[in-house]
Structures are given as structure tokens and as C-alpha cells.
Structure 1
Amino acid sequence: MCWLNLVHHFQLVMATLIFFLQLSLFLSSFSRLSCSISDTLHKASSLSVEKPSDLLVSPNEIFSAGFHAVGLNAYSFAIWFTKPSHVHNRTIVWMANRDQPINGRLSKLSLLRTGNLILTDAGQSISWATNTVSTSSSLQLKLYNSGNLVLRTPEGVVFWQSFDSPTDTLLPEQPLTRYTKLISSRSQTNCASGFYKLFFDDDNVLRMIFDGPETSSIFWPDPWLLSNQANRSRYNDTRNAVFDSRGHFKSSDRVEFQATDFGKGPQRRLTLDSDGNLRLYSLEEPSGTWVVSWQAISKTCRIHGACGPNSLCTYDPSVGRKCSCLPRFKMINHTDLSYGCEPEFNLSCKHHEAAFIKLPQADFYGYNLYIWRNYSLKMCKNRCLELCNCRGLHYRFNYETGVYDCYPKREFRNGHGNFGGVLYFKAPKDLVSDNEPLEEFRLGCSNDDTKQLDRAYKREGEIWQLRFFLWFTGGFGLFEIVCILLVWCCLYRTRQRSHAAMEGYLPAATGFRKFTFSELKKVTRGFSEEIGRGVCGVVYKGILSDSRVAAIKRLNEANQGEEDFLAELSTIGRLNHMNLTEMWGYCAERKHRLLVYEYMENGSLAENLQSNTLDWEKRFNIAVGTAKGLAYLHEECLEWVLHCDVKPHNILLDTNFLPKVSDFGLSKILNRGGENNPSFSRIRGTRGYMAPEWVFNLPITSKVDVYSFGIVVLEMVTGKSAITSVNAIGNEGEMKQRRLVKWVREKRSRGALMTSLIKEIIDPMMNGNYDMDKMEILVGVALHCVEEDKDARPTMSQVIEMLLHHPK
């Protein structure tokens, strides 16, 4: 019994000893940790690149400053958000030596007794310095809660601060002045200075410029606009821009915007990204995802230098920006888009040895030799062939003057697709053939972050046997708890990431406001006033908090409603035209999917045709406006957008009966490169307005919208609906049901003159009060648009030209 008591006593003593050893080890580690992390570096002190624990951390622990790996054995001293993001391990906001990294051994950041803050490379050369001098013994380097790293005395005398020398990022309350600028990174994985700059120009206007190795050009605001046309003011002396913690940005030249999630809450940063776009980011908690809450340029291919010379930029929403070499050109550097492409041929100055390769829907901004107004294509080509320095030309119709203009080019830079007009460029005759393909190229490197070097710090004198014993005795008890926590965290993060993937990215770059479901329920008074209904959902009237009247579309909660929500939001977010409905916001909360539009006082075209509120002049103007909106979708915006459901119910009218095409739930964004796109998973549209291609499974192009537009115009002229059959029309008295197009064509075949046809088919509600010439134009255009053969139909730009410049 005594022996058993002795054993029990020994076990109790050992357990107590182990407990106190663990407690001692924990307190020792905590003490070392707390001592190594501070927000201040004092005089005659330094931070070492070899000690990852040598950090400055702001009092609120939001920001950290220390050495950041930018490559293999290459480091920069930087400031970053302490909490890792969902995508990047560190979100860098400032760098001291971005263009001159230091060695991973023996390098230090030191505050000298002279008051100079220096960064030494491997203990030898000075890589970066503040060049400050102070005799104050209390001089210190302090990282503040704002993310500002300040060299100052306790009395408040500032000798240097990081806010005065930004790199590519501004933080809240950090001003951009006449003495500072933002310079983008070279790429997503290369932190060195890139080619894009944000700065105040000599005319006091905030601008963005592409400053490449061979050329430079301003692209924001649009360079062809005067300052007042771009809503900028040159008459200011402050040259100051800043944004606050709520997400409101204001500049002395009248640039002003606010985040879509405006208000107190998330951490924010304004960054000039490596692709040349200025974006305001908000940090979503707790997923750690940075979401774009505003961006300067929605059409990213309009950013100069996006793809380098002799290459064309197009945008695909599924993969982003893409670059393509011109036909008969090849990529120069497969790891850097900025080098562009070079020709595979030598071009002679002898005009009879050259010909032109045609590239539709493309343009290269700038570098025009001349501008030749009212030129035929033949005249334009001949003049270019006569000029040795003319490498090609851009030929397009000018809607303001009603004539074609010619732009001969001396260089091909800032190329972008999906643009009105046609590009022709010179090549040797023996190399010119029809349908030259574009060679698409992308960077051959990964966008993954640079991996950090493994520099785990080993404490001297550590006894591995004791450590093993302590871990063995204490670790097993914690094992189950850790496992439970890990499983819980994994499930939680999976739900969060899934939620972020569905809700976070959708409106990021569109500038829409994000509403909550309870907000929209309140402004619609519980969804009580229904103003429209369709297969995708119901539309309600609501009054927003700023007194604006809105049309709020609540999509069905079935899978089809989800797909329509994604299509409509991703499509209309990239569109900006006076004849397209403007969307103000959205809601993506759990199962709820809602879209907030501007409210159109006069309802839809379908309602107005039934109520006899449209005279002939309004009908003609509605046809022209609708054609302009569709032409923008097909030919002017960066993506090739097919509406796929053009009908009177989706053409809304404002107070002045200005038409606006709406409802993009069935729209499709396609690559400009291939019109015969087979990626339609199902038939789209409304019976009665659908082109024959849908029924016979033929290649789908923009001509399906042209066909639907023709049906709509026939409805406006005749006052009859295409979705109802025509019974016993005219003197025939036939009971056989026939569609609207067939009926009009039969009438035309029996009448020799268009005038007699108009009199037979015109909407009786107009009581003979109409302009015969305009009605003849409408019917002629409509019949041209509803040709069975899609190649016989005009494009929407040709429709506009026929409507506005039809010979009398």
C-alpha cells in the first residue's frame, strides 16, 4: 500500500512539474513575442531582414511594417494589412525600395543617431534613405493606425512620413498632391514600378497616363475631351485629392465619387493596378476578400498600352482582357504583353506591291497622319498606298455629319476591338487573303503570389528532448479540440467563400449600390405595387431613400431566375447608352435576387400601342432610338452583346417618350472574334419575335436582334401584335391564321406601290394622320430586317443610316 501511495505521489508531483514547465514556456514565448512586436523604432535601433518577427504593428493591429519577399532572396521594406486576404497573403500598401530590392541576409532598416532612416543591402550599400537629420534623442519611427509610417519627435515635429511618398496605393485621408503621384506595379507578381501613373497635370487636372518605354499618352479623362467637357475644372490652385474612411473621394478638379458600399465599416484602399485601372477596394469581413467598390474605367481595353503595339485588345467576361496579334504578326515577348507584336514581313514603299488586310470592328487610337473627311473607301486606300509612312487606315461612318471619314495610321498602338468602323492595314500582296485569323496570346507566367522564403528562427539552447516530452504530455489533450476547431473552421470558410463567390464579385466593377432585401421590401411597401410581370420575375414600383422612383425587378427564386440575374447584372453593368435602361443597384442576399432600375414614367411600348398614345412621329423616333441602343450593343461596346429578346414589352419609354431597351435576362456576351458561336445552351426569346435561326438550329449572330427589331417596327406601323394570329384580315375573309410578316408581305405582293401598301396596313388608330414618307421608310426597313436569310438583313448601324439618311 505504501508503495502504491509513493507511486501516486510521484505521479502527482510530475504532473504538477509538467504543468508549471508548460506555463513557464508559454509565458516566456509570450514575453518574447510581446517584446519583438511594437509600433515604434527608436534611435540607434534597427529591424533585421533575417528576423521575420522584427515588425512594426500599428496600435489597432490593422497595419504591419517589415520586410516583404518580392522574389528569390529579394526583399523590400513595406507596409501591409496585417490580416491576410482571401487571395493574397499580404495586401501591400507602400514600399520603400520597390525598384531596388535588398538581400535576404545582413540587410537592415536602421534609424541612425544622426536622424537618418536608411535601408542597407547586406550591410554594405544604402538602398534607400529618408535623408533626414535630427539631433533630438527622442526621434522615433512610428506606425500609426492610419497606416502612415512617420519619423517624428514626441513633441510632434515630423521629419518624414510614408503618406508623402505613396507607391501605387492611397489609404483613407492620405492626400494626393501636386508633389506626389501613384505609379502602378509592373505586373501582379512584379512589384517594381510599372508604366501607369496617376498625377496632377500642369493644367491642375487629375489624369492617368501610360508612360511606356517608347511612347506615352494620357487616357483618363478621355484625351479628345476638353477639361470642361470631361466635367473637370482647370481653375484651382490646390491640386489635392483625398478619400475618407466612408468611401467618398473628392478632388480639386471636381472628380468626385463614392464607393458602392458607402458608409462606415470596411477597410478601404485606392490602388492604381498593374493593368492601368484606378480602383477603390473594400475589405469584406470575415472572408477577407477585397471587393472593387468603384473603378475609373469600365471598358478596360480603352486603357492605353494594354496590349502593346500591333496587337488588339478584346474583353471576355469569363477570362478578362485578351490580346491578339494582327494577322501576319507575331508576339515579341511571351512573358510581357507590353512588347506587343512585330510583322512577319517586310513592306515595300511601292504601292503596287502592297494590299490591305481587312479587320472589322477594330481601331487603334491616335497616331493618325491626317483625318480625311467625306472620303470613299477607294479614295482612302489609294491615298494611303501613295504614302510610304501610312501603315494602314481606319474607315468609319460619322453619324453626326452623315459621311464616311478616313484615318490613315503611322503606327498601330492602343488597339481595341468591338469598335465601330473597319481597320485596313498594309501587307505584301502575296500575303493577303480573306478572313485572316487573329493570333491570340496571353502571358506565359502564373499570377500566383511570390512564395515567401522559409526562415524559421531557431532559439539557441533549446533542448529537444524536453520539448518533445512537453508536447507529448500536453499535446494529446489539445489534439481533439484542435481537430474540432479545424473542421468547424473549414466548414465555415467553405460557406463563406461560396457566399462570397456568389455575392461578392458580381457588382464589383460596375458602380452599383448594394441594397439589402429589407431595404427593398420597405421602399416597395412590401412589394405591393406591381407594374410589370414576365417569365423571369415581377417588377414593382418603389421610392428610394433619396426620393428617386425606381422599378425593382424581383427574379423568380428558381434556378432560371438565378441564371437571369447573373446574365442581366453582368451585361448591363458594362453598358452605358441613352437608349438603354440605367440600373442603380441590386440585391443578392441568400435566395433573394433583385435588380433596381430607373423608373420609366410612360411604361412599355406594348402598353402605349394598345392605349393609342403614340402618333406617327413618336413611333418613328422610338424606332430610331431603339436601333441606336441595339447598334451600341452589337458594334460599339467592348463585348459583343446580343439582347435575344427584343419586343415591345422590353422597350420602355421615359417622360419624353425616349425609348430605352431593357430586360437583359436573356442576353448573351460573346467573343467578337467568332460570330458563329455555338455556345447557346437553349433557345432564347419570345415566340413571334424569334428569328428563323433559332428554329432551324443555325449559327446565331447579331442578326437575330435585327429580325426581332423588324417585327417590332411592323407592330408600330400596323398596331397589330406579332404574338397573336391574324384572323380574317382584309377583303379575303380567310379564316386561316397567318403571322404578321406573312400578312404584310402578301399585301405588298398584291400592291404595286408602297403608298397603297401603307394605306392598307397602317394602324387605324392614327386616323390617316401620318407622314407617308416616314411610314414608307419604316416599312421598307422592317421588311429588310425580317428577311429569312440572315445575310440579307442589314446591321443595326445600317438600319440607323437608312432611317436617318433615307433618300427622299
Structure 2
Amino acid sequence: MRAPFLFIVISLLLSSPFSSSTLLSITKGSSLFVEKPNKVLISPNGVFSSGFYPVGNNTYCFAIWYSQSLNDRSHTVVWMANRDRPVNGRHSKLSLLKTGNIILTDAYRLIVWATDTTTTSLAQLELYDTGNLVLHTLEGEILWQSFNSPTDTLLPLQPLTKNTMLVSSRSQNNYSSGFYKFYFDGDNVLRLRFDGLKVSSMYWPTPWLQPWENGRSTYNNSRIAILDPSGHFKSSDNFKFSAADMGTGPKRRLTLDVDGNLRLYSLNEKLSAWVVTWQAKSNPCTIHGICGPNSLCNYHRKGGRRCNCIPGFKMKNHTDWSYGCEPYFNLLCDEEAGFIKLPHLDCYGQDIAYFPNQTFERCKEKCSKDCNCKGFQFKYDRPNGYYLCYTKALLLGSSEGIEETMYIKLPKSNLSSYDKPTQELRLDCSQQVTTPLYRNYKKKKENSKVKFMLWFACGCGGVEIIGFLFVLYVLYRDRQRSRATEKGYLQVGSGFRKYTYAELKKATLNFSIEIGRGGSGVVYEGTLSDNRVAAIKRLTEANQGEEEFLAEVSTIGRLNHMNLIETWGYCVEGKHRLLVYEYMEHGSLAENITSNTLDWKKRFEIALGTAKGLAYLHEECLEWVLHCDVKPQNILLDSNYQPKVADFGLSKLFNRGNIGNSSFSRMRGTRGYMAPEWVFNLPITSKVDVYSYGVVMLEMITGRSPTGTVHAMDDNGGMEQRRLVTWVTEKMHETTGNGSWIEEIVDTAMDGEYDKNKMELLVRVALQCAEEDKNARPTMSKVVEMLLGHENDEFEKSSIPCIIDRATNESSCS
């Protein structure tokens, strides 16, 4: 009996490429090396393994995976330390330092990940039977554990808390962070959210229902959910489910898949395959962003999900549906437009405006005259007995089992050519290729050269200095090689390009065309090697460490919103720190206010777009970002005068788990726009940006700078000076009930051509944002809600007007 047993054990060991040399723990001063992929940590029960896992050609991540291979000989990864910053296949290692800190270093000692732990006690890194990688002292104190920082998978007994979230992978072959998130929202409810390149939206539970209508509770703020080994999942918001094969036995995992669906899997040991035993969405077409913009989604149980382009559009990237479709046509603003009807299509979010009690022709006319309108939804509101009109800036939708109807805006000249069924499109997987990271390693020759120089110095005496200088040259040359190597993997890890200082110096003609200047640096116009015109900012604070700078620009590269300036790349060489942005044709808001190029409509759109961009920074992105310097110079305008907030990210990054830490080493911002918290040394929160936004809006409305003073008449008929906020407030109270106060404060460049109701709304919102007491200021998302809620012309002058809830068509007043 013993011989067959030994044969089975040996066969199992040989079947896994990671099992020929295993460890139970790592102690202080020891390391795991990427050149030794067979040397891995393994849990005592043998279920889990941890080590360097290949994610591409010569590219690795430190990961945890199920030791048992599947029927295709692949392994199931459940956690990664550096999913967005893979390391080289040579000279990379994971080390447990004597200080108690675990660091993952790439070639030439660049730290890409660390636990940031310290201890004077003896410590070891161990992989538990649960799949939890734990750093603990010999006394049992846990210093760090992988269960507290999940990637896309939740294992049994691993809690999901208010400080953690699951983030999907980008694709089946790309383990970097994707577009979907599973987390506890601020109202204590578990949610699934799509965070795309341009838009963000919640799609589970049913977004148009209240939490209690979805069977959720908002009253338990403990915010914790857990999957037990028997397949039962329970959350503090009263959400729970059970696996179809519930009971002890199968290995299980809860994974947020690349398509945005949350699924519970059980391992079929006989088939060596994972089986879905529960999923959040039975119809994948209801998952936002699944087919990208300008597309249709259809789902059939036998055929699965199918993506097609809306008539008049073509597939943008034949290997990735997340890019959606792009138009065949180029519809000019003054060109006559037509519309085609698409039944069973609902485009969620991205409403330009909401118009109640409209006729079809009036709704059609509103979209025709709006250059930004891509189509409109026209639906009957049964409770109120009239039709609703929603104009859309972006077409993101679903077409399966939907009762709504969309009307798509196309050139009228060839409308008939688009009015036909779309051809079914499928991904062309043959074009999917893996781009290897650039590696250019050569064997180091320093030791032999140094020895040669030492022997030569002993023989010749007088050439010690030459030998010393030669060694310095060799070290400098290898440092330059490491920088060239960094360029490849940082480009893959961060998603945007690293430029050399020489490239940017050439692009800007030796930094000769200055287009802007601020406290953190000077901005120059430049033309990149691919002929793109860019704005290149040369930072003056060059004392920042290289690793700190790289960590921050990596975060900036993951922030994507239509009202945030897009970052194309960066440069870090010696003392040089530069950022490369997209170029804005119309410059800054400051330039346009003084040049009188902004009419009322443009100013209102700038106020709304700026609020959306700041709301994304404060509340929607993975790491909360405080701008700390909101001013007209940092609000740039594109060719359509759409605003983009610039200079964000390098001010202050807040991790969601440490939002209470609001310490700043110095005051930040610009005089006239800074909130009182800076002056009185109070805790700094996102409300400092809200205050600055309110001041900027008042400046845009009045045309007066807050850095100066406004002359006003005192009680004795004389003239005295007032701050801008104080002056506007006094004007409003002096003539309450009389519309003339608006005329007294509005910029004379508008010649009285503006909507007085909306102007009063914007003034009141701006004054509320500029309140001295930060608790009296609204959040930026509330500002967006107030501005969007009043696209109709109804207005209550006594207070901020009522907000119309689209889901219930009920109104509420604040």
C-alpha cells in the first residue's frame, strides 16, 4: 500500500510548477527571489501557495493562488500585492527586513510595494490554511495580513469591511485594476459600481429603488460582510444569499469578474473546474459599461451576451468592448440633424437636462439645438399624466427587456442609410497580443573592472585617481540603464508614459513657449513626438523624493473623468519633475473671464462641469483627492468651452481608510480662494475645495476678483471696501424680493442676456459653498444635484429650490 501512496504524492508534486521547493514561512532577513519561481510559501494544508506569479512575458506579481491546477493547467489567483505595478523577471525579490517591514523590490532596488510595518520582536510571514498571508510576531501579534487588502476575490472567513473593496481585473489576461468595484457605500449598503474612463454609475442593487425597497438596511454602520465555509454570505445591510451547493466540503471563492458580475464559485474536484453557484446579475446586459458607449447589448440564455453598435456607429477596438463604438459620421453643430427610433433601449445617466410635461416635437427640438446632445429619451409618466424628456450627452445603455425608447441623433442628409439593423459583432481574439515589458539586462562587470583597477593601481601607483573615476563612470552608466528599464514596466504599471527630460526639452523648444504659471510650477506648450500638442508643467518643488513622486503620479494616472484634465505622462530625472497634460485650446477660466468670451450658457456649464470634476475627486475615485488650490487659473476650457479641473493629485491624497488624517505641513492654496480652516489651523477636509469653488463661481458671475476688494456705500453715504463674498451677500439681503439685486452684481459683459432664475440659483449655491462654517457648506455631489435639478425654469426665490427625484418624480426642498 505504501508504494502506490508515494507514487500519488510524487505525481501531485510534479503536476504543479510551483511545488518543487516549498516554505512554510519567511523570517526576518530572508527573501523570495523571482529567478526561483519554484520556491514558494505553501499553507500547512497545501491548498494555497504564494510567490511570484507570471502575468506576462518576463513580468511577475507577488500573489496567492490555489495550489491545485485546473483542467487547462492554469491556477486560480485570489490575491496580488502589485497588480498595477508588475516587476521584472530578474533581480526582483520579496524581503522581510530586520525592521519588520516587507518590501517588494524590482530590478535595481526600486520599491513597488511594502507593508509599512515595524517591530523589534522576531517576526515571520506565513500563509494560513484560509489563504490569508499573515505577518506576525512569535507572540502572535498580527502586524499585517492580506485579508485586509483584497483584490478581486473574497475567500471564506475573509471579511469585507468599510475600509476594503473588491476591484475587478481589466481582462482575463490582464490582472491590473479594472472598471468594477464591490464595496460598502456611505449609506452602509453593499453596492456594485462601474468606474469607467469617462463615467461612473451604480448598477446593483436596482439603482432606481430606495435601499429598503431592495431589501437593504441603512441603519447598521458596522459595515461588514462575510462568506462562511458552507457557502452562506451575510452582510450588515441585511443582504444575504447561499450557494446552490451549500454545505461544507467544496473550496469556494466570491469573485468580482472582469464583466462586472459578482459570482460565487465552488471547485468541482473531479472536473478540476470552477462552477458558478450564485451570481448577483442574471442578465449581464444590465451591468453598466459592459459593451461600452454607443452600443447595444442583448442576452440570450443559450447564446450568452452579444454586443452590437448603434446604427451609424462602428466598433472602436475589435479586441475590447469596453471602448464601445465610434461614429461613422462627423455631425457639425450647425448641420441639420435627424433621429432614428430605437425601441427597448435605455441609456442610463449622462443626462444633459430633464424636461417634464413636453411634447415629442419640443423634446426633439431641444436635442437638435444642443451641440452636445447625442440623443433623447421620451417616456410617459403615468402618475403625473404627461411625457418626460431626457436629453443625453453620452449613449450608454442596455437593450434587453427594456420598455424605454431612445431617439439617436444622426446627420439628416444620409439618415436612411443608418436606419437598418446593426450587424452582430464579436471580439477578434486573434488580434490580442501580449506586449512584453522592455528589458535590457547585461551582466554586471563592476567587480572584474574594480579588481583590475586595484591590481593596476598596485603596479603603477599613480593611476589610483583614474581608476576611481572609472568606477564612478560604470556606476553612473548602470544607473542610466536602470532608468531605461524602469520606463518599460512603469508604462505598463501606471498606464501612461514616462518621458525623458531631453524629449520634453525638445518638445517645448527648450521651454520657450510659456502658457501658464502657478505656485507649483510653470506650464509650457509643446509638441510630442507623435505630433500631439501638450501642456508640460515643470514643477518647482524638486525636493520631493523619487519614489514618493512615482507613487503619486501612478494615482493620478488612474483618475479618469470628463471634467478632469487628462495626464499623458511624466518625467523624473535627477532634480527634474515634469507632468505632461492634454492641451486646452481656450486656456484657463481666468483668461476667459477677463476677455469677456463667456456667455451665460457657457458660464453655467462651466459651473456644473467643475462641480462634477471635484465631486469625482472627493467621493468617487479609489483614493479621495483634495485639490487644495481651486481657482480660475486651474480650471481649463477645451474647444467646446467644457471645463477640466487641472493641477489635482499632487496636493493631498487621502486613502479611504485614513480620511480622518488631515495633517498638512503647510498652508496650501491661493489668497482670496482659501477657506478659513487654513488660517485658524482647523482640520482640513474636502470642504476647503467647496469653499474655493464657491468663490470661483462668484468671481465668474460678477467678473470681480476675490483677491481685491469691492467698493460699497456705507450708512453715511461714503465709500468703504468689502470682500467679494460679503458684498454679494449684502446686495442679496438689501433687495430681498426684488430681482434688481441680480442685475447689480452680474458681470456687465453679459449685457443682461442670462436666465435670472438660474443665475439666482447659482449665486445662492455659491454663497452656501462659501460659508465660513464648513459644516454649513454642501458636498460637491450635493452641488451637482442642486444645479442639475433645476434645468426646468421653476424657481423658489426664498431658498435653494426643490430637487426633482427622477426615480420617483417626487420633489424635496432643502
The TM-score with structure 2 as length reference comes to 0.49
The TM-score with structure 1 as length reference comes to 0.50
